[in-house]
């Protein structure tokens, strides 16, 4: 029988089927790794933001590439797609596109991480109630990221 946390993750927008395939369909491993992914979000955002602020676009590209891959592996497809856009912008030297998209990436990653942690702790809203505005601690984390 499926762990109820799997349904909770689906309710907050995680593509669990995608994530499980990278974990050999082992729910226990998937749940452990996605929790680590979400717990590490604040530090990862700070690291990537530091490269952005220092205009170190080479390391920025490397880090958003990693975020793209880890997000896809966990089934967090919208973060993966935004990270991919930022990776290619950095690769192309398109600073305007980086400037335009980096804030959206950080915000979305933060929101998804909070929703994942809430889902894993049993605090996630029902699928019909899930919206970006309902993320616990969103304002506090957003303030830290400024």
Q: Which domains does the chain have, with CATH numbers?
A: 4-124 (1.20.120)
What is the average pLDDT value for the chain, to the nearest integer? 88
Question: Higher model confidence: residue 29 or residue 125?
Answer: 29
What pTM was estimated for this model as a whole? 0.81
Instruction: Give 85-143 pLDDT, tens digit per residue.
Output: 999 999 999 999 999 999 999 999 999 999 999 999 987 454 444 444 444 455 554 45
At residue 143, the pLDDT reads 52
The mean per-residue pLDDT over the stretch 32-61 comes to 97
CB 123 within 8 A of CB 136: yes
What is d(CA 35, CA 51) in angstroms, rounded to the nearest whole number? Answer: 25
CB 114 within 8 A of CB 91: no
The mean per-residue pLDDT over the stretch 48-75 comes to 97
């Amino acid at each position: 029988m499926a762990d109820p946390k799997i349904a909770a993750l689906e309710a907050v927008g995680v593509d669990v089927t995608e994530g499980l395939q990278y974990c050999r369909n082992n729910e226990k491993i998937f749940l452990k790794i996605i929790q680590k992914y979400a717990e590490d979000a604040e530090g990862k955002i700070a690291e990537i933001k530091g490269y952005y602020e220092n205009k170190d676009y080479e390391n920025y590209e490397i880090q958003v590439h990693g975020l793209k891959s880890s997000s896809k592996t966990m089934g967090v497809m919208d973060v993966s797609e935004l990270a991919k856009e930022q990776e290619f912008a950095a690769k192309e030297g398109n600073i305007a596109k980086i400037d335009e998209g980096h804030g959206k990436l950080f915000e979305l990653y933060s929101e998804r991480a909070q929703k994942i942690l809430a889902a894993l702790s049993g605090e996630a809203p029902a699928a019909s109630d899930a919206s970006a505005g309902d993320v616990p601690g969103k304002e506090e984390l957003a303030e830290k990221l400024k």
